[in-house]
């Protein structure tokens, strides 16, 4: 039987909006505004999915600065693949994520302070 974390991963991958966000953000980092356009979803829907995807480590978050000096966040897909093996009455799931660049990790940790 899958554990709670496995069930959350499966539920996320079953969610059409979560899949659209992962696919869109795999091409390049995207703001919520761009993701709402690409995914044909409302901003609250996109924010909810981003929260769930980030909780699973499927998205990286970056702080950006526009030409007017305003801050906004962009998101890129970190999930590479999910492998599920069903054998001998059990199920095992492995989730593969891209390694985070050390400079990006340092920046993210600093921004979280």
What pLDDT score was predicted for residue 43? Answer: 96
Q: What is the residue extent of each domain of the chain? A: 4-111
pTM comes to: 0.79
According to DSSP, the β-strands at 30-31 and 59-65 are unpaired
Q: What is the pLDDT of residues 28-47, one digit of tens each?
A: 999 999 999 999 999 999 99
Q: What is the pLDDT of residues 93-103, one digit of tens each?
A: 998 988 866 56
**Fold category of 4-111 in CATH:** Arc Repressor Mutant, subunit A (1.10.10)
Look at residues 93, 3, 52 and name the one whose alpha carbon lies nearest to residue 44.
Answer: 52
What pLDDT score was predicted for residue 69? Answer: 86
For residues 69 and 18, the model is more confident at 18
């Amino acid at each position: 039987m899958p554990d709670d974390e496995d069930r959350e991963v499966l539920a996320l991958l079953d969610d059409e909006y979560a899949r659209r966000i992962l696919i869109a953000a795999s091409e390049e980092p995207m703001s919520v505004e761009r993701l709402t356009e690409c995914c044909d979803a409302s901003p609250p829907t996109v924010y909810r999915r981003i929260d769930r995807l980030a909780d699973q480590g499927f998205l990286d978050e970056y702080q950006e600065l526009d030409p007017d000096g305003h801050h906004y966040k962009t998101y890129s897909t970190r999930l590479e693949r999910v492998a599920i093996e069903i054998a001998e009455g059990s199920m095992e799931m492995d989730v593969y994520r891209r390694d985070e660049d050390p400079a990006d990790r340092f920046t993210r940790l600093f921004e979280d302070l």
